[in-house]
Amino acid sequence: MNLLPKNDLLQYVQNILHADTQLHQCSIDLSVNSIHTFKRPASLDFGGSEFEAAAREEIPSTKKNRDDDYGWWMLQSGLYQASFNETISLGNNKIAIISPHEHAVEAGFTGGHHIITNDQRPLSFNFRVPRVGCNIKENARIATLCIFGM
């Protein structure tokens, strides 16, 4: 498998807010659209017939000032799920990996890699906020997407 270069990424990723900022040599930054908390346990089994996704609840963002164009999520320590503005259409023989953005890592986020083997809308990513919390502005780039093809 080969890591797709910058020019090839654009044919698989839609709804990019600002390509000049988000697009890099072999990756694209993902911008947060909404953040959810988990409210009810999930159920996992071997065959999948008893699978039940965890119930989630959206956290509303709040504007710091009335005149602000965008709001903020003021997150306390805990586990969250972010949904992104961007979507993907992978097609055959492609996989995508979502990882925390370098700024998110510096902000104290922890989160594993999310491997995607088919079209998934909306894209999402689970992450943990450190004990001291973290403030995230709407449309912030908090994850990075790489696509591999054969």
Residues paired with residue 79 on neighbouring β-strands, in sequence order: 128
Dist CA 54 CA 57 (whole Å) = 10
- Looking at residue 121, its pLDDT comes to 67
In one-letter notation, the amino acid at residue 132 is: V
- Give the DSSP H or E segment for 59: strand 55-59
Is the bond leading into 5 cis (omega within 30 degrees of zero)? no
Token output for 133: 């919390």
Helices assigned H by DSSP within 4-150 = 6-9, 19-22, 102-106
**Amino acid 120: pLDDT:** 66
User: What pLDDT score does 117 carry?
Assistant: 87
Nearest Cα to 143, choosing from 15, 28, 38? 28
Q: Give the chain's residues under pLDDT 50.
A: none
pLDDT at 63: 95
- Give the fold, CATH level 3, of 2-149: Deoxyuridine 5'-Triphosphate Nucleotidohydrolase; Chain A (2.70.40)
The predicted pLDDT at position 150 comes to 81
* Predicted local distance difference test score (pLDDT) of residue 139: 98
Global pTM value: 0.93
Amino acid 85 reads N
Pair of tokens at residue 16: 């990019």
pLDDT attached to residue 112: 83
Is the CB of residue 89 less than 8 Å from the CB of residue 83?
A: no
